[in-house]
Amino acid sequence: MLKSESVLKDLYQSYTGNAPVKLIALPASGSDRSYYRMLGTKSAIIGAWNDVVKENDAFIYFSQHFNRLELPVPEVFMISPDRKAYLQTDLGDETLFSILSSQGLSDEVVKYYTDVVKWLPTFQVKGMKGLDLSYCFPRKHFDRQSMMWDLNYFKYYFARLSGIVFDEQGLEDDFETLVDFLLEAETGTFMFRDFQSRNVMILNGNPFFIDYQGGRSGPLQYDIASLLYDAKANLPPSFRNELMGIYLEQLQSLLKEEEKSQTSKSKSFTKDVFLKYFDGFVLLRILQALGAYGYRGYYQKKEHFLQSIPFALRNLDYLFSQSSFSLHLPELTKLLKHSMEEMKLPKLATQDLIVRVTSFSFKQSIPLDTSGNGGGFVFDCRALPNPGRLPEYRNLTGLDEPVINYLKAYPEMSHFLENVYNLVDASVKNYIERGFKNLMVNFGCTGGQHRSVYSAEKLAVHLNEKFGLKIVPEHTEKSNW
């Protein structure tokens, strides 16, 4: 047993009085922290392990501070003596990004995004009140050094590792020009640092915010830029503009309230001044993200991070074509435009390609391809572990969290899906290049309720993330659940 698992089990028992019934390692993300879902007789708790104690202290302190302000964040229940492990609220598995990936811009997703941009100003303004900046990690302020770290992250892990030729002194000069400009912006509000759709959990229809351990004092523009230009979310420009309007309205209203309560009048917020610097922070955030994708993808060989690069470059292309941002950054502009022109980027699917993903029961029949083309894929899930045989899962489906956790715990399930992805990805790429209109993928199991449903949902999310498709799986046995 890993030390992290042993320590977290002991911590769980100290907190609840009982040993956990099951401990499930959660999928790794872009950090080196480890998370576990710890299941007991009553409710689940998330156990976190991280060797970087100062980072843990920042997360724990911010969580306690935001909870006192009644902001929607997880609660930290218990901390190990060495502060390398802690227990926190289990907010489930659904993130804003995962729901967007499965539903596209449904009415539900639009509501979640609206709620999120309304919450952001509260964190930024009210969350700063009484905040002890000494807990911030690794810096208290988003200052010149922070910005240069981001820009050099981009230079060394994206530009260099992707083989792009550039004039280093010219690029450094452009970095200085950009940073000098951005440092003119008003600062002194709370900055999440990584405010994006994967760090917003959705529980019972409400957003909860996580991964703010890198938070610090900073400018207002950075976090909303991070959310609206979140690469894989691939939000349409019109929706970005709509969300920006909602955010600014909420921010202005909140700042007016704050001004009235201040004895000394602070500098008034104006939309024009905010927007003057906004595109510059969008550029900085996209460059930081490209550095992160390069580090995780090129350097650490985690290839799925490379899938985000085309989306980030398309955001840059849009920024250059639409922005009124007029800083003279010749070497940086040349480097980025060269990247967009020369890198072999996978084409995104258009609405011309319709991929239909279904689940079904082999006791019935394989769903018909109504496109008239016939064919497609039929995957048999009956050799996989079957939760339907166990009484506690019998009345649940592959959409329910206990069944999802059960199937995720078996390596056979992930191996099966990995092979499915490889086969289907090859067809989708080919269909896009050849201009085909329809592809059908079917998953069958005994009852069409557990394994096939889970598999169809996972494939839909995968294709949505990788190709920009917006697939809502069809579950043919749904009426019998």
pLDDT bracket for residue 176 (50, 70, 90): very high
Which backbone phi and psi does 179 adopt, to 5 degrees?
Answer: -65, -40
Assigned CATH class of 3-89: alpha beta
- Whether 351 shows a pLDDT value over 80: the answer reads no
- Whether 462 shows a pLDDT value over 70: the answer reads yes
Decide which of 430 and 58 is more confident. 58
Domain parsing of the chain, residue ranges? 3-89, 96-342, 354-480
Q: What DSSP string runs through 118-130?
A: HHHHHHHHGGGTT
Q: Which of 232, 197, 412, 199 is nearest to 309 (CA)?
A: 232
Whole-prediction pTM value?
Answer: 0.75
Q: Please, are residues 215 and 191 in contact by the beta-carbon 8 Å criterion?
A: yes
The single residue listed with the structure tokens 């977290």 is 8
pLDDT bracket for residue 480 (50, 70, 90): confident
What is the reported pLDDT for 213?
97
Sign of CA dihedral 296, 302, 303, 305: negative
Mean pLDDT calculated for residue range 218-232: 96
The single residue listed with the structure tokens 């579950």 is 475
DSSP H stretches of helix in 323-474: 330-342, 401-408, 411-434, 451-467
What is the reported pLDDT for 349?
47
pLDDT bracket for residue 328 (50, 70, 90): very high
Q: Tell which phi-psi region holds residue 344, choosing left (phi > 0), alpha (psi between -120 and 50) or beta.
A: beta
Query: For the ranges 113-127, 340-354, 422-436, 438-452, which has the lowest average pLDDT?
Result: 340-354
- Whether 437 shows a pLDDT value over 50: the answer reads yes
The single residue listed with the structure tokens 């309720």 is 449
Using DSSP's 3-state secondary structure scheme, residue 456 falls into helix
Q: Please, are residues 259 and 266 in contact by the beta-carbon 8 Å criterion?
A: yes
Mean pLDDT calculated for residue range 171-196: 97
CA triple 449-453-455, angle to 5 deg: 140
How many CB atoms are closer than 10 A to CB 465? 21
Decide which of 314 and 378 is more confident. 378
- Whether 265 shows a pLDDT value over 50: the answer reads no
Segment (H or E) for 357: strand 354-361
Domain at 96-342: CATH architecture: Alpha-Beta Complex (3.90)
What is the reported pLDDT for 267?
55
pLDDT, tens only, 17-50: 999 999 999 987 767 899 999 999 777 899 999 9
What is the reported pLDDT for 368?
86
- Whether 344 shows a pLDDT value over 90: the answer reads no
